[in-house]
Amino acid sequence: MPLASTILALVLMGLISQSSQDKLRRHYEAAEAQRSAGNLAAAENEFASILAEGYQRLARIYSARKGYREAVNAMEAAAVYRPESEEVLLDLAIAYFEAQEFKKALEPLHRILARNLESAGAHHMAGKTYFMLRDAAKAASELEIALTMAPDDSDIAYTLGLAYLRERELAPAQRVYGRMLEQLGDKPQVHILFGRAYREAGFLVEAIDEFKKALAFDSNYPRAHYYLGLTYLLNDGASRRGEAREEFKAELAAHPNEFFAHYYLGIVYLYDRDWKLAINSLERASQILPDSPDPYFHLGQAYQGLDQHVLAVEALRKTIALNPRLEHNEYQVTTAHYRLGQSLLKIGQTEAGKNELQLASKLKAEAIKRVKDSYSGAGESREINPDLLQKTTAENTMAKLSSREEGVKSAPESGEAFYEKVVATAHNSIGLLRAQQQDFRGAVTQFGLAAKWNPQQEGLNYNLGLAYFKSAMYEEAVAPLERELKAHPENSPARQLLELSNRMLKEKTNR
């Protein structure tokens, strides 16, 4: 009962011949040559290279569509098959970084730098990672090295400027951004980028100056008025609410569907106790992003200001429902329960209102305890916004995509289905090699992984069933053999294996 040998030759070669994936073709051809010569370990090594490439490509695809957890899983699999590859380790670090697992990101970066101190990419990612871990000094050190190696890399320079600003070193950051301005050109999007950096670091006067420079180039540049209005509020608070309000209105005149401009305009009206105008702005914001809990929270406050408690209850319940585990904004949810309790009491739902007030009190006490437990007495309380680093190219501030993104977008066969088949057929091929060496347990593992990625692969159910049978795992053999016979009832060896498996299970039961 031989295994079905539908390896890459039958399933993948047609795809490869139509693509530019020379690396995959070379590994496949080398694997076949080694297998034919009886060098099974060398053949498996070539298939492992195909797996590393396939998983790495899948990770990049997942990352491009923001499937960061999937990207991590795929890159961890790639690292199993190419644990010493600098490119794989760097992509693994990037996957961890994008999934906000910053401490994990450092491990593959340290492995790269232990062997190659000249890796600009590893120094760059280490700098970004240390920044997110609130170690701006280490971040600046790594990024200075990276910028020396890649002086024209705007992403490195931008992040280095952020690290300087985090350390309250304004002059070095301004020098870095001055060189960036020379490289990228005096454009509104560049000034927006600088303005965001200054604002996030608390240099609000400098941020205002940058946003005004952007507007001097283009008075309708997307989000420029919004950024300026928000910075007015952060810098001077109540004294500049009027100017902020006008900036938000100017943003909406040019971009009527800008969520944040509607949202913060509603916040300004709330401060002014202009409840009706606040409701208009916040309702529009909730229509644009109906899954955001933030507008509903403030709508609840505005409705309470008008004594419209039935509507307040509806809005507050909505904001709580959209944040069931508190991860979005713990203070907001706790306060929402408190306000909900108030409105429920106002409309006569006394018991429900008391329950909400008790829950709010409990949540507040738990939050205070968590703060006390985690307080270290050092560092700033202000959270770092990961988007500040992850989206430096998202607003077209850079002249080109990174090579990592460019490779995914330029390949016509970069869709998931193609690389899923690459991975599945490579696992199947390694399974065949393991079985040829009588390592049926190892074959089971490989055929199982192949089935995960392409359960419809021809011959795979038979291979898996036979490997289970040879491993004396008769109960596990039944399901894949039944699937094989359902698809191919003429497969006599599969029928014999199924009958033998059931017989062995029956004998085991009768013992």
pLDDT tens per residue across all 511 residues of the chain? 566 554 444 344 444 434 446 788 888 889 889 888 989 999 999 999 999 999 999 999 999 988 999 999 999 999 999 999 999 999 999 999 999 999 999 999 999 999 999 999 999 999 999 999 999 999 999 999 999 999 999 999 999 999 999 999 999 999 999 999 999 999 999 999 999 999 999 999 999 999 999 999 999 999 999 999 999 999 877 788 999 999 999 999 999 999 999 999 999 999 999 999 999 999 999 999 999 999 999 999 999 999 999 999 999 999 999 987 665 567 888 899 999 999 999 999 999 999 999 999 988 887 776 545 543 333 333 455 555 554 443 233 322 323 444 444 444 345 788 899 989 999 999 999 999 899 999 999 999 999 999 988 888 999 999 999 999 899 999 999 999 999 999 989 989 999 999 988 888 777 6
End-to-end CA, the chain: 28
Distance CA 156, CA 27 (A): 34
**Angle at the Cα of 510 from the Cα atoms of 505 and 511, rounded to 5 degrees:** 100
CB-based contact 495:477 (threshold 8 Å): no
Give strand ranges (E) for 197-354: none
Q: What is the pLDDT of residue 235?
A: 84
pTM of the model: 0.77
Extract the tokens encoding 330: 């713990």
Which residue is listed with tokens 């970069």? Answer: 414
pLDDT at residue number 24:
85
How many helical (H) and strand (E) elements, i.e. helices and strands, does the chain have? 28, 0
φ, ψ for residue 160 (rounded to 5)? -60, -45
pLDDT of amino acid 377? 37
Per CATH, the homologous superfamily of domain 8-63+405-510 is Tetratricopeptide repeat domain (1.25.40.10)
Long-range Cβ contacts of 220-224 (<8 Å, 24+ apart) = 220/254, 220/255, 221/188, 221/189, 221/192, 222/254, 222/255, 222/258, 223/192, 223/251, 223/255, 223/258, 223/260, 223/261, 224/188, 224/192, 224/251
Give, as one character, the DSSP assignment of residue 385.
-
Does domain 291-374 fall under CATH 1.25.40.10? My reply is yes
Q: What are the structure tokens assigned to 180, written together? A: 């960036």
Q: What distance in Å separates the CA atoms of residue 164 and residue 162, rounded to the nearest whole number?
A: 5
Residues 126 and 97: their CA atoms lie apart, in Å, by 10
Hey, do 8-63+405-510 and 291-374 end up sharing a CATH topology, with the first three levels equal? yes
Domain coordinates in residue numbering, the chain: 8-63+405-510, 291-374
10, 18 in Cβ contact below 8 A?
Answer: no
| Helix/strand/coil (H/E/C) assignment for every residue in 150-215 | CCCCHHHHHHHHHHHHHCCCHHHHHHHHHHHHHHHCCCHHHHHHHHHHHHHHCCHHHHHHHHHHHH
Beta carbons of 180 and 174 less than 8 angstroms apart = no
For 8-43, the DSSP string reads HHHHTHHHHHTS--HHHHHHHHHHHHHHHTT-HHHH
